Amino acid sequence: MIIKHINTQPFMDQRPGTSGLRKKVSVFQQSHYLENFIQSIIDIIGGGKGKTWIIGGDGRYFNDEAIKIILRIVCANKFKKVWIGQNGLLSTPAVSHLIRHYYADGGVILSASHNPGGIKGDFGIKYNTSNGSPAPENIVEKIYQRTQEITTYRISDDFSLDLSFLNKHTYEETEIEIVDSVYEYALLMEKIFDFQAIQDLFIIKKFNFVFDAMHAATGPYALDIFEKRIGASSGTVKNFIPQKDFGGIHPDPNPIYARHLVDLMMQDQHPDFAAASDGDGDRNMVIAPSQIIIPSDSIAILAAHAHLIPAYQNGLKGVARSMPTSQALDQVAHFLNIPCYETPTGWKYFGNLLDAGLITLCGEESAGSGSNHIREKDGLWAILFWLNLIAIKREPVNKIVSDHWHKFGRHFYARYDYENLDKNIADKMMNGFAENMHKFINKTIHSRTIIKIDNFSYQDPIDGFIVYHQGFRLILDQGGRIVMRLSGTGTEGATLRIYLEQYIKNYRDYSIQSAYILHELDYISKEILKLTEYTGLRQPTIIT
C-alpha cells in the first residue's frame, strides 16, 4: 500500500456547529475538504498510531464515498483497528454504544442529522470521544484551530472493500472489521427495558403501535427490535429502508415533516400510539391519540416514571436539560429531590455530567432524550421507554400525560423558528438587542413585566470550560420565559429560534391551545428584537 502525503491549504469554514461540521454535499465534495477535517481530528488526538475508531453514517448521499476516503486516511495514519457498520450504516446512538462496547478511542459519524439529504442536501461529520460522547467544546475548538493551520494530510492509495459482508480485512497496520449495524444496540435495549412486558402489551392487550423510520437510519433497528424481538405485527415499522435522499423528505420527526403520522393520530380510527425518529436515529417524536407529546414534557414524564423501568429502578441521580428546553423537568427534579442541570444547546454538554455520575437522564426540546446508557440522545430508547411505561401502567397514553400535568402543573411551550434569514441582518438584530437588553428589565410590555434578562453562559462543572453567549434568557412575571438564539446547525443563511414558555400550576382547562396561552410572549419577543423591522417577517416559518 502506498501512503501519500498530500499538500493542502486550510478551509476557512470548518468550525463545527452545535453538532459537528455540517455543510452542503457540494462543499464536502471539494477536493481536500473532508480529508483536511479528518486529518485535523487525527492530529489533535496525537496521531492515529495504535488508535481504534468506530465509523458509520445515516446512509445519506455521499456516505459511501466519504467512508472510503476516511478509511484510506485512517490506514495511512496507522490506526490499529476500525469497526464499520455493515453497508456503512450506523445510527448515532449505535456509534456511541459501539465506542463504549469495544472500548474504542472514538468514532466518526457521517450525518447531518435531520437536515435533508440527496445530492443537493446536507452532509456532516461528527466526532465522538472515547466515552461515546460528541467531542466536548474544548476539543471541538482544538479541531477547528487545527483546520486553520493544516498543510498536509496522509492518505493511502485507493482500495476496494465490500462493506456488505461481515468480515475482517487488514491493510498495513490497520484491521478493518465490518460489523452488524443493529445487533449490539438491540442487545443493549433488551438489557434496559422489559421486552416481555411490551410484547404482552402488543399481543395480549392488542395495543396498536406505529413507527415511522422516515426512510432513514433507524429502519433496520426498528424492524429488528419492534417486529423481530418484541413481536409487533408485521407492518408496524413504516419506511424502514434507508435511502440516500430520505425519500425526498426532511427526516425530521416533527409535526411539519411527519404530518402524515400526526394526521393518522387525529383520525377517529387511530392507533394507540405512534412514533418516529430522524435521519441518524437520535431524535424521537411520540404521539398519543389526538395529542403530540412535546419533547420537553416527554423527558419530564419519563423522569417522573423512571423507577418503573428495569434499568432505572434504583432511581435517578440527577437530570439535565438544555437551557431552551421547558422547565417541566425541573418540577420533577424538585419533587424527586435530585439536581437538575441547565446546559447550553447541544448534546455535547451532557457528556461530562453523565460520565461523572451526576445525572441519569437528560433531554432537549428539539426531540432529543437519553440516559447514561450511552452518550448521545437516542430516539428508539425514548420510544421503548414510553412503550415500557405504558405496558406497566396499563393506562392510555393521554391519561399518563394529563395526570402528569395535574400533579406538576403544565408548561405551555412552543419554538418559533424564523428560517432563511440574511446572516448579517440576523447578527445585527441580535447584537442590537444585546446592546439594549438592560433597558427592558422591569419594563412592562403587553401587560407582562420582564424581571430578568441575561445572555446564557455555562461553566462545565467537571472540566471548568466556560462558554458564553449561548442565547438570551428572559424571565417574565406570572411564570413566563422567553429564550432567543441563532441556530448552530444550519448550512444556509441564519435561523432565529424563539422559545416561548408559560407555566400554569393549577392547570385544569384542557381545551386551551398553546398558541393562545403564548400569544403575549410571541408579541413581546417580536417587539424587543424589532424582528419585523429587521427581517420583514411577522410570522415564524415553522412552529414546533
Interface with ligand G1P includes 218 (CB under 6 A)? no
Phi/psi of residue 359, nearest 5 degrees: -135, 155
Interface with ligand G1P includes 502 (CB under 6 A)? no
Q: Which one of Zn ion, ligand G1P, none interacts with residue 255, CB within 5 to 8 A by kind?
A: none
Helix axes 379-393, 397-408, angle to 10 degrees: 90
Strand order in the sheet with 168-171: 21-24, 122-129, 106-110, 52-57, 81-89, 174-179, 168-171
CB of 95 within 8 A of CB of 67? no
- Nearest in space to 387 (alpha carbons), one of 239, 204, 202: 202
Out of 35, 43, 194, 280, the only residue in the binding site for Zn ion (CB under 5 A) is 280
CB of 369 within 8 A of CB of 307? no
| Separation CA 199–CA 309 (nearest Å) | 15
Q: Which one of Zn ion, ligand G1P, none interacts with residue 364, CB within 5 to 8 A by kind?
A: ligand G1P
Out of 278, 460, 520, 522, the only residue in the binding site for Zn ion (CB under 5 A) is 278
Which residues, 19 to 78, sit near ligand G1P by CB under 6 A?
A: 19
Contacts of residue 331, Cβ cutoff 8 Å, sequence gap at least 6: 300, 408, 409, 411
Interface with ligand G1P includes 544 (CB under 6 A)? no
| Separation CA 308–CA 310 (nearest Å) | 7
Residue in this structure with the C-alpha cell 449495524, named with its chain if needed = 181
Rounded to a whole number of angstroms, the minimum distance from the CB of residue 122 to Zn ion is: 12
Interface with ligand G1P includes 91 (CB under 6 A)? no
Interface with ligand G1P includes 279 (CB under 6 A)? no
Q: Which one of ligand G1P, Zn ion, none interacts with residue 19, CB within 5 to 8 A by kind?
A: ligand G1P
Which residues, 93 to 152, sit near Zn ion by CB under 5 A?
A: 113
Q: Which residues pair with 449 in a beta bridge?
A: 444
Can you say whether the dihedral through the CA atoms of 7, 11, 15, 20 is positive or negative?
Answer: negative
Interface with ligand G1P includes 488 (CB under 6 A)? yes
Binding mask 233-272 for Zn ion (x = CB under 5 A): ----------------------------------------
CA–CA distances in Å: residue 387 to residues 211, 427, 433: 12, 43, 44
Q: How many helices (H) and strands (E) does the chain have?
A: 17, 27
Out of 133, 360, 489, 502, the only residue in the binding site for ligand G1P (CB under 6 A) is 489
Strand order in the sheet with 273-277: 237-238, 209-212, 273-277, 284-288, 291-293
154/377 with CB nearer ligand G1P: 377
CB of 329 within 8 A of CB of 413? no
Q: Which one of ligand G1P, Zn ion, none interacts with residue 297, CB within 5 to 8 A by kind?
A: none
CB of 76 within 8 A of CB of 154? yes
Interface with ligand G1P includes 115 (CB under 6 A)? no
Interface with ligand G1P includes 493 (CB under 6 A)? no
- Total number of residues binding ligand G1P (CB under 6 A)? 14
Rounded to a whole number of angstroms, the minimum distance from the CB of residue 126 to ligand G1P is: 9
Backbone torsion region of residue 244, taken as left when φ is above 0, otherwise alpha when ψ lies between -120 and 50, otherwise beta: alpha
CB of 129 within 8 A of CB of 158? no
CB of 265 within 8 A of CB of 272? no
Contacts of residue 84, Cβ cutoff 8 Å, sequence gap at least 6: 54, 55, 56, 67, 71, 90, 163, 176, 177, 178, 179
Q: Which residues are marked as active site?
A: 113
Interface with ligand G1P includes 284 (CB under 6 A)? no
Binding mask 243-272 for ligand G1P (x = CB under 6 A): ------------------------------
Q: Which one of ligand G1P, Zn ion, none interacts with residue 366, CB within 5 to 8 A by kind?
A: ligand G1P
Rounded to a whole number of angstroms, the minimum distance from the CB of residue 307 to Zn ion is: 28
HSE-CB of 331 using CA atoms within 13 angstroms: 23
Stretch that binds ligand G1P, among 28-36, 309-317, 361-369, 507-515 (CB under 6 A): 361-369
Rounded to a whole number of angstroms, the minimum distance from the CB of residue 283 to ligand G1P is: 7
Interface with Zn ion includes 282 (CB under 5 A)? yes
- Total number of residues binding Zn ion (CB under 5 A)? 5
Interface with Zn ion includes 194 (CB under 5 A)? no
- Nearest in space to 188 (alpha carbons), one of 106, 97, 90: 97
Which residues, 319 to 348, sit near ligand G1P by CB under 6 A?
A: 322, 345-347
Rounded to a whole number of angstroms, the minimum distance from the CB of residue 253 to ligand G1P is: 12
Rounded to a whole number of angstroms, the minimum distance from the CB of residue 58 to ligand G1P is: 12
Interface with ligand G1P includes 111 (CB under 6 A)? no
Interface with ligand G1P includes 122 (CB under 6 A)? no
Can you say whether the dihedral through the CA atoms of 293, 327, 350, 360 is positive or negative?
Answer: negative
318/471 with CB nearer ligand G1P: 471
CB of 308 within 8 A of CB of 389? yes
Rounded to a whole number of angstroms, the minimum distance from the CB of residue 256 to ligand G1P is: 15
| Separation CA 390–CA 133 (nearest Å) | 30
Interface with ligand G1P includes 18 (CB under 6 A)? yes
127/347 with CB nearer ligand G1P: 347
Interface with ligand G1P includes 113 (CB under 6 A)? yes
Out of 59, 497, 525, 544, the only residue in the binding site for ligand G1P (CB under 6 A) is 497
Binding site for ligand G1P (CB under 6 A): 18-19, 113, 322, 345-347, 364, 366, 368, 487-489, 497
Binding site for Zn ion (CB under 5 A): 113, 278, 280, 282-283
